[in-house]
Amino acid sequence: MPVLYRLRPSLGTLVSVHCRADDARIARTAVEAAFAAIDRVHRLMHPSRAGSDLLAIRDIGVGGVDIDGWTWAVLRAAAQLHLESNGLFDPCVGDCSGTLNELRLVEPNRAETTRPLALDLGGIAKGFAVDRAIDALREFGCSAGEVNAGGDLRVFGAAASEIWIRADQACRPIGLRDEACAVSDASAIARPPEHRGYRRYDSVNGRIDLARAAAVVAPSALWADALATYAVVCRTPAEHRRLDAVLALHDARRVDADPDWPKKSPAARAGLIG
């Protein structure tokens, strides 16, 4: 059964698509459809590029704008996690004063703001792109596949896949079967230059340090990434207790890395994500 592997730049990182199909033609068509889905997400949800939905939302200031259904779906998931996390998960950046509390999503595909918003969906959009690429591989007849977008990975197929996750200079192998894993890293080194990531402030001390990195396994890459990002911004015991409850709500789990990863052989360290 033919296996096809392709690697291309997109989403501010390198994206790999790996699939298995009955013949090479099916595999090639499926991979092209997967990359087309990824590129569509990149165009729609870039934080500042002309023509993106996020720039359109920022440019309206206060008001409403029609957006693509894919962008609307990602914003709906972000708004849900914003509520579940008591506001800790918030992909609004400091260019404007608004938070997700000032965003109203009107069906089918309209966004309305009560204060100016500057959104950087960053990793959650990347996770959504991985999910749509997996959908494409399945729709075009692939029996198994893997999509990895720089820290957001999802697999499908009958057999489990062993991958190594890397977070905060540590790593470990995990098995995935029809699941996704995402690593969220708070360091500027790990962040694509067009994304500024998520920030956390308090009213007294201003900006505060975040946990360095977190890894989460979930049924979809969107939720794996969103929940890993949420985990990074949690600081207090109460916040971590709420995080545990939200992880359970989404059938997700945190994965701890292995601090002895530098001692592993080069062969064992192949296939890292994060």
pTM of the shown model: 0.87
Question: Tokens standing for 110?
Answer: 């309209």
CA–CA gap between residue 70 and residue 80 (Å, rounded): 16
pLDDT band at 262 (very low <50, low <70, confident <90, very high): very low
DSSP symbols for 67-132: --HHHHHHHHHHHHHHHHTTT----B-TTSS--GGGEEEETTTEEEESS---B--HHHHHHHHHHH
CA–CA gap between residue 159 and residue 42 (Å, rounded): 30
Q: What is the DSSP letter of 243?
A: H
Give the H/E segment covering residue 272: strand 272-273
Question: Tokens standing for 85?
Answer: 């996390």
Q: How many residues does the structure list for the chain?
A: 274
Place of tokens 């992909």: 91
CA–CA gap between residue 102 and residue 92 (Å, rounded): 10
Choose the weakest-confidence range: 55-69, 157-171, 232-246: 157-171
Does 145 have pLDDT greater than 50?
A: yes
Q: Give the 3-state secondary structure of residue 173.
A: strand
Q: What is the pLDDT of residues 112-124, one digit of tens each?
A: 999 999 999 988 9
pLDDT of residue 265: 45
Helix 69-84 and helix 24-45, axial crossing angle in degrees, nearest 10: 70
Q: Give the 3-state secondary structure of residue 237.
A: helix
Paired residues of 206 in beta bridges: 202
CA–CA gap between residue 89 and residue 234 (Å, rounded): 9
CA–CA gap between residue 201 and residue 94 (Å, rounded): 11
Tell me the pLDDT of the chain averaged across its residues: 85
CA–CA gap between residue 15 and residue 6 (Å, rounded): 8
Place of tokens 């972000």: 78
What percent of the chain stands above pLDDT 70? 82
What percent of the chain stands above pLDDT 90? 62
- The residues, ordered by sequence, that sit 6+ positions from 107 with a Cβ below 8 Å of its Cβ are none
Q: How far is CA 214 from CA 11, 12, 211, 256, in A?
A: 20, 20, 8, 8
Question: Tokens standing for 72?
Answer: 């609307």
